[in-house]
A and B are shown apart, each in its own frame.
Chain A
């Protein structure tokens, strides 16, 4: 696992250096990071009307100048692997964009299932867990000057998890709920029309206890509803510091960043503890915008 992550880190650095060196040369065509064409991820900006973004991680469409519809690809792919539809939709509205300031709100829901297989007493058991995630966010972007912008945002994620299959012998079935608040800030420095360096800090100041409710059926006459409140992961004050870069050509864009800390999964607003990802946090997408 560690070797794989090291290799990933190496590839990311090589890609960043190679494409960065290309980007530092005079642009072959017109400017790509421009006053009008702003970074879309972790900023208050959204696509303009009838603009598309088609990427590995995210597909977006500008419904209006102030409203962008997006869907993340990974949940669809994971859902397809499980032969289960896993819809997700994000609405992002840049409701204010004047002078140096832009403000946006966003709302996303994602629904799907995760399958886990365990060996229990020598028997292979498979269970499916269905999830429903709501993510709401508020973002501000300030253009300090033509090269430097700052972006600050807060994201609130509500998660509802339910057992989707019949419980095994020692299992109870029900739903679990956990909420979390993420604050983040990103500094953007445009080195050239092609290269923008970014430094992103993410912080999780609040994570609710997990509240789970489950049914326990004793016999035909007797049953119980179990409600528990527990701290599943010690995620409070989880953080990540991620230096990165966004390379933008006429249509193609690459966003890459590798940093230290917990792994913030942007597509669902959730966090994977640093202990699981060996303190490596990453951002990556390749997309075209037209």
Chain B
């Protein structure tokens, strides 16, 4: 439709104002779709860690007053848990993986600034998804093989530091210890007690584990549902929860010669082998 339009300065200029062609509609719709797509803000899905505070509280403040009767019920569980943990080296293996990632982060993070893509991100919050292919039972295997199982862990970054909880799953993880074929399926939560600087070697910390799953050694199978603590000097603590939900901690010093219990009354020495505890005047056998 031709019409006369004012050119803005009093001059009449022929000017064609055409009707909007139908052809532009798809273009407009496409742009609208792009706009809508672009409007999706980038966001990071930071999952909440499992709540193991009751376990931490139980380690710090056991509630049971351990006597012969309790040890009579619990000694097998303690011995089995200790054996499984120390012989399979499962917890140590998981901690080693986390420690190796921590060391990698230490290389990437300097004074809380993460270097990535040539940019530095100050005090980042975020999530680190760790995947480790298990070594399998063939020490000569040339390459990692997912058929050997994997450990899938989640770690959080809080302002450039490592959040105290690391958690995840262990799927059909096969590994050798002293030529014995172990495997584990289950879930694990690791707790460092507090937020950790990326410079801190995790092996120096007291680390709490909550592990649940099935541990296999050859044809044998063990259901594992343990809460345990290991520290850099090799000390192992196992949390025992009684049927009435009272708790106590059985600990092994590194050489395993010194063992003992921490309960509501305090700390005292015990021996699983001799089935006795030296609780002062209240010492007992079972």
Contacts and interface: CB of A to CB of B under 8 A. Distances in A.
Instruction: Report whether over half of chain A's contact residues are helix, strand or loop; otherwise say mixed.
Output: strand
B119 A229 contact: no
Those 9 A-B pairs whose CB atoms lie nearest each other, nearest first: A228-B126, A228-B124, A163-B117, A177-B42, A35-B7, A34-B7, A211-B42, A222-B132, A229-B44
Given A66-B20, A211-B44, A129 B6 contact: no
B52 interface: no
B135 interface: yes
A169 B115 CA distance: 10
A175 interface: yes
Given A93-B31, A214-B116, A224-B131, A230 B17 contact: no
14 contacts: A33-B9, A34-B11, A96-B20, A98-B17, A134-B34, A136-B34, A162-B117, A209-B42, A214-B116, A222-B100, A224-B128, A226-B105, A227-B127, A228-B126
Interface string A177-204: 1110000000000100100000000000
B117 to A, nearest CB: 4
Contacts of A227: 44, 126-129
A173 B117 contact: yes
A175 B42 CA distance: 12
B163 to A, nearest CB: 13
A107 interface: yes
A287 to B, nearest CB: 20
Interface of A: 31, 33-36, 64-67, 91, 93, 95-98, 105-107, 116, 127-129, 134, 136, 138, 146-147, 156-158, 161-163, 169-179, 190, 193, 208-212, 214, 216-230, 232
A31 B7 contact: yes
A210 B121 contact: yes
B121 A212 contact: yes
B115 A170 contact: yes
Given A34-B13, A169-B107, A221-B133, 20 more contacts: A31-B8, A35-B8, A64-B21, A66-B20, A95-B20, A105-B32, A128-B118, A129-B117, A146-B8, A170-B110, A209-B43, A210-B42, A212-B116, A218-B103, A224-B104, A225-B129, A227-B126, A229-B43, A229-B44, A229-B124
A151 to B, nearest CB: 15
Contacts of B126: 212, 226-230
Given A105-B31, A226-B126, A170 B43 contact: no
Contacts of B68: none
Given A106-B31, A134-B38, A221-B135, A36 B5 contact: yes
B217 interface: no
Contact of A226 (B8, B116, B118, B132): B116
Nearest to B107: A170
Interface of B: 5-11, 13, 15-18, 20-21, 24, 27-28, 30-32, 34-35, 38-39, 41-44, 46, 97, 100-101, 103-105, 107-108, 110, 114-119, 121-135, 143-144, 155, 157
A151 B46 CA distance: 41
A10 B42 CA distance: 41
A161 B117 contact: yes
B41 A176 contact: no
Nearest to B115: A171
A116 B116 CA distance: 13
Nearest to B135: A221
A172 B108 contact: yes
A146 B9 contact: yes
B118 A163 contact: yes
Nearest to B10: A146
Given A156-B35, A161-B117, A208 B143 contact: no
Given A147-B8, A170-B110, A212-B116, A220 B144 contact: yes
B35 A136 contact: yes
Contacts of A31: 7-9, 11
